[in-house]
Amino acid sequence: MAKNHERIHIDEKNLCSLCVTELESIYEELELTEAELDILSVPRQVFTVHFPVRLSSGTTKMFVGHRVQFNDSRGPSKGGIRFHPNLKVDHVSDLAFLMALKCAVINIPFGGAKGGVVVNPKELTRGELELVTRAYVRAIADFIGPFKDIPAPDVYTDEKVMVWILDEYEQLKGEHVPAMVTGKPVELGGIKARKYSTSLGGVFILESAMGKMGMDKSRARVVVQGFGNVGENAARILHEMGYTVIAVSDSRGGIINGDGLNIHSVITHKRKKGGLEGFEGAERISNDDLLLLDCDVLIPAALSDQIDRNNANHIKAKIVLELANAPTTSEANNMLFDRSIMLIPDVLANAGGVAGSYFEWIQNLSNDYWEQDKVLDRLRKVMIKAFDDIYSLCEEEKCTMKKAAYKIGIKRLLMAEKLRGNI
């Protein structure tokens, strides 16, 4: 593990802008030193690789890939790989920081990483995408592995892409290394619950929060913005548990039925039609209006910055569960807190995904397979313990849950650095 006993010289271009922004609100309360701020504000390693791929047309194209390993003081780095035409290294750095914090918040022994390739997958054939994936793995193979940095699915990557990553890495190493990547098919060491662990982890958190607030799920009205994998599974799980989901939406708008939607029917309709529009027994609603519906639980599971200073005072939910990354601005978070609305931050609410990855990694290292009930029981315990820790600090300091989560996560990161002698 690299030691760093001298103060890091901060070059402006290396700073994680999100870290600086988020730490501004709490660094004085935590009484952080300059050295501690430096360690929290700069990624440990940043890789940019360029690699050629011969496309099916016969032409060769150079691609650019990035990987940021933000912090590995608490364990090997962990984070997704995304394929996106607008992928920028500074945004990758922000996401790696959030992953490091997220792992610390739920107290699992991972650091934070993120990476990907600058590419539009829609412009490539499936075969070409495989070639790009394998070339990217070859370019970063020396810097990843089960005890260094463990990739996972992210935007425009899926379990098949994880198989390509695994296979290419194993060919390079000449041995089976299933623990080097998570999000794999069950047949190659994955776990069934991984596909919906983010959503289910959020539901476990929600149930704990409702218990603290004395809310009855049989009377709870839920709104879900975003009907991708996370939002869809959250709506499905809540529907199956007896919650009344009155509205859901995708990128083109939403649907609402005040008496409740049959989420299974909505999912079937989406599969057939490619979207929510035209679903019988529901009215259309815009994404903006959906956020302002009269409900008990609002789940933003789509894009960032959906709740801001312009609409925060019009939110009617009692609980906001952030399953998307950063769907609420810092200013809006404080506005909701002033109105006694509980906002459960993304670093806690959507951490079930990395918890699921952790369980997959453990099983792969021990060449074991857990039954699904064991996975779900372990997920519940990890998420509820994290919620209880944060809620207790909130009550003690009368602060937002986001501030409490950041305080807990940062303290754990810094403790690891101190024990290693880095500060």
Phi, psi of 246 (to 5 degrees): -95, -20
Residue 340 lies in a domain: yes
316 annotated active-site: no
pTM score, whole prediction: 0.91
Q: Are residues 275 and 144 in the same domain?
A: no
Domain end marker among 278, 311, 344: 344
Range of the domain at 226: 196-344
pLDDT band at 6 (very low <50, low <70, confident <90, very high): very low
Q: Are residues 233 and 330 in the same domain?
A: yes
Domain end marker among 320, 344, 368: 344
Query: Pick the catalytic residue: 114, 195, 403, 407?
Result: 114
Q: Is the dihedral of CA 184, 187, 189, 194 positive or negative?
A: positive
Cα 86 from chain centre = 19
Domain end marker among 344, 360, 379: 344
Cite the beta strand spans of 119-173 per DSSP E: 149-153
Given this model, what pLDDT does residue 3 score?
36
Q: Number of folded domains in the chain?
A: 2
Q: Are residues 39 and 119 in the same domain?
A: yes
Residue 163 lies in a domain: yes
Residue 394 lies in a domain: no
Q: Are residues 107 and 36 in the same domain?
A: yes
Q: Are residues 77 and 42 in the same domain?
A: yes
Residue 398 lies in a domain: no
Q: Are residues 53 and 201 in the same domain?
A: no
Q: Are residues 36 and 156 in the same domain?
A: yes
Specify the CATH number for the domain of residue 305: 3.40.50.720
Residue 351 lies in a domain: no
Q: Are residues 136 and 256 in the same domain?
A: no
Q: And the tokens for 310?
A: 């312009």
Q: Are residues 255 and 166 in the same domain?
A: no
- Residues 122-166 have pLDDT tens digits of 999 999 999 999 999 999 999 999 999 999 999 899 999 999 999
- Measure Cα distances from 181 to 114, 133, 147, 151, 192 in Å: 13, 13, 11, 5, 15
Residue 378 lies in a domain: no
Q: Per-residue pLDDT averaged across 97-118, rounded?
A: 96
- Asked if pLDDT for residue 25 goes beyond 90, the answer is no
Q: Are residues 231 and 166 in the same domain?
A: no
Q: Are residues 32 and 155 in the same domain?
A: yes
pLDDT band at 7 (very low <50, low <70, confident <90, very high): very low
Residue 309 lies in a domain: yes
d(CA 397, CA 118): 43
Specify the CATH number for the domain of residue 174: 3.40.50.10860
Residue 421 lies in a domain: no
